[in-house]
Amino acid sequence: MCGIIGYAGSGRASQAITDGLKRLEYRGYDSVGIAVLSPKSKLEVRKDKGMVEEVSSALRFTSIGGNIGLGHTRWATHGTVCRANAHPHADCTGSIVLAHNGVIENYAKLRDSLAAKGHKFASDTDSEVVAHLMEENAKTQPLIRAFMRTIGQLEGSYAIVAMSAADKEERLFIARRNSPLIIGAGKGEMLCASDIPAMLKYTRTFVPLQEGDMAILARNGYKIYSADGAEAERKQITVDWDMEMAKKGGYPHFMQKEISDQKHFINESLSSDTADAMKLICASGRIDIIAAGTSYHAGIMLSYLLQSTGRVAQAYIASDYPYIAKPDKKTLVIAISQSGETADVLQALRFAEGCRKIAITNVVGSTVTALADCVVFLNAGPEVGVAATKTFTSQLAVIYKLFYDKERLKPLSGLIGAMLEHDNEIKAVAQKIAGKENAFFIARGRNVPIAYEGSLKFKEITYIHSEAYPGGELKHGTLSLITPGVPVIALAPKDETLPKLLGNIREAKARGAFILSITDDDEVKKESDISIALPPGTDPILYPFALIVPLQLLAYHTSVLRGVNPDRPRNLAKSVTVE
Ligand code: F6R
C-alpha cells in the first residue's frame, strides 16, 4: 500500500526516484509525485493523479536537477484521488517535504492542534499533518531532533521519508513502524524504499530497518536510531536478485512472465532450507496457520497435509485469528506471507506472543522474518504483478517439501511446463467466458484450495464475480445460481475425488452450465463443453500444481480480453500494509 523511495548521492536524484517509482507502482497506483532539492536549494515538487509512466513524463520528473529527493506512488486511504492528496506533502513554508506510507491514527487530533497554531493544510490526507508537525517542532530544535520528536508523536503505521530545503547537509530523515522501509547502501549514494527491487539498479546491499527505527541518510552513509533515540546497528544483507528478474523480459505483463517463470522457480523453491522448520513441526502439538488471500489458500493446503499425518492443524484468515483462536505456549504458529509485510499477518503473529513461530515468505529482510523463530524462504525472485502466481506455486512447493521426498517432487518443473503448453487453448476458452457475469469453480479434497485460488485470481483481475466450492456444497445452496451458460470450472483429476465430483459436474450440466474441466478422465471430458488435458500418468499428489497453471492463465487471458491491466487491478495493491 503506497510505495516510497528516497535518494541522496552524487547522481541525478530525479532519475533514481523515477526508476524506483516504476518498480514500486504495483504497491499503489492512483497518483504519484516527486520532490527534489534543485541545485539552487529550492524544493521542486511535481505530482498528480495517474500512473507513474503518464504522470512522470507529462510533468517531466527527470528534468529536475539535484542530488537528493524523494518520491511516492499512492494507494488512497485518507482523502480522494486528486492532485492535492498526492504525495509528497509540504509544510506551510514549502521547506519541509515528505512521503508517507501507512495510516496516522491520531492525525485528526494533531491536525486540530496544528490548525489552532495557524497551520494551513492543502490536502485531506493524514500524511500532510506530519510535515506540519515537523515544521512546528523544528521551530525550537535542530532538524534531527525535530524529526525524532515528530515520529514520537505519531500513532499508527508509517514508513516516512522527509527532507528539508534548509538542511545544508542534504540528508533524508526516515522512519518506519508497521510499514516496510529498507535502506539501500550504494557507493557514494544512499537510497531507501518500500522494497528491494526499487533499488536494485543502484545497489545489492540492503539494510532492513526494524520496527520503530529512524535513520538519517546522506550521500556517504547512514545512521540508524532505535525508537528510544539511541544509535543502533542493523544487519546488512546482500541479495542476488538482478534487475532482469524484476523486468517484464519481453512479456506484455509481469503476470504472464511470472506464470511462465514458475517452471524455473519451482526448483529454486524446492531447494529452500526447510530443516529447522521441520524440527519445530515435529516438536509441536497444535499448529495454527495464519495467512491472507492467496497465501491463505496455500495455508489450507498445509493444514490438509498436516491433518493427513494425524496432526491437529488449522488454517486461519490472519485478520480473524485474534477473534477466534486461543493459542497457548505449546502452539506452533506458521505465518505464510509472500511479501512478509501484510499487516493482518503481522498483527496475528504479535497476538500469538509466546508461541514458537515459523514464517514462510519470499522477501528477505521483511518484517515477518524478524517476528519468527525460523524462516523458510520461497526463493521465487521478485513478484511484481499484483496477483500472486509464482509465489503461490512456490508456497505449495516448500509446503510439499515438508511431507514428500525430493524424488517424488522432481517432475514438478516438467509438469508445470506441460500445463503452460495449453496457453493457446486457454486463450480460446477465455474468449468464450470473457462476456459472462458469474463463474463457479468446483473441486474436492486437496484440489479445493486450488479452486479457491483459481476463483480469487479470476475475480480480482477480470472483475467477473466468481465463487469456489467443494463440489459437495453445490446442492446446499449454490445450485440455484447455476443457469444456462454459466461457466462452471471443474478441477477433475483422476484421483479419489473423481467419482463424486463427476456427479457434481452432471448436476451443473443438467442445469445448462457451460462446463470447463481440467482433467485426465474420459468420462469427464464427455460431460464437458471444453477440457484442458492433464498429462497422462501424473502422480496424484502433484495434481494441485498442474491444476493451478491453467486457472492462472484463464484469469490472465480473460482479464486482457476485458481490457483490464492484470498487473494492476483496480483498488488493489501488492503489499497490504494496512489492517
Ligand atoms: C491475490 C493476492 C493477495 C495476497 C494477500 C496476502 O492475488 O496476491 O490475496 O495473497 O494480500 O499477501 P502476502 O502473501 O504478501 O501476505
Q: How confident is the model at residue 365 (pLDDT cuts 50, 70, 90)?
A: confident
Atom 1 of ligand 1, nearest CA residue:
387
Ligand 1: residue of 179, 253, 258, 295 to mutate (most ligand atoms within 8 A of CB) is 295
Domains and CATH numbers, the chain: 3-244 (3.60.20.10), 248-410 (3.40.50.10490), 419-564 (3.40.50.10490)
Name 42's Cβ contacts closer than 8 Å, sequence gap at least 6: 165
The mean pLDDT value of the chain amounts to 94
pLDDT the model gives residue 75: 82
Interhelix angle 293-308/448-462, nearest 10 degrees: 180
CA distance 103 to 110: 13
pLDDT the model gives residue 240: 77
CA of 517 to the centre of ligand 1 (A): 26
pLDDT the model gives residue 79: 78
Neighbour-count burial for 358-387, b at 16+ CB within 10 Å, e otherwise:
bbbbbbbbbbbbebbebbbbbbbbbbbbbb
pTM (two decimals) = 0.81
Reply yes or no on whether 92 is catalytic. no
- C-beta 293 within 6 A of ligand 1: yes
pLDDT at 493 > cutoff 70: yes
Atom 3 of ligand 1, nearest CA residue:
293
Cα torsion 504, 507, 511, 517 to 10°: value is: 40
Atom 9 of ligand 1, nearest CA residue:
293
* pLDDT tens-digit readout, 400-447: 999 999 999 999 999 999 999 999 999 999 999 999 999 999 999 999
pLDDT at 244 > cutoff 70: no
Q: Please name which of 145, 167, 165, 218 lies closest in space to residue 45, comparing C-alpha atoms.
A: 165
Cα torsion 8, 10, 11, 12 to 10°: value is: 70
Reply yes or no on whether 574 is catalytic. yes
pLDDT at 574 > cutoff 90: no
* pLDDT tens-digit readout, 116-141: 999 999 999 999 999 999 999 999 99
pLDDT the model gives residue 335: 98
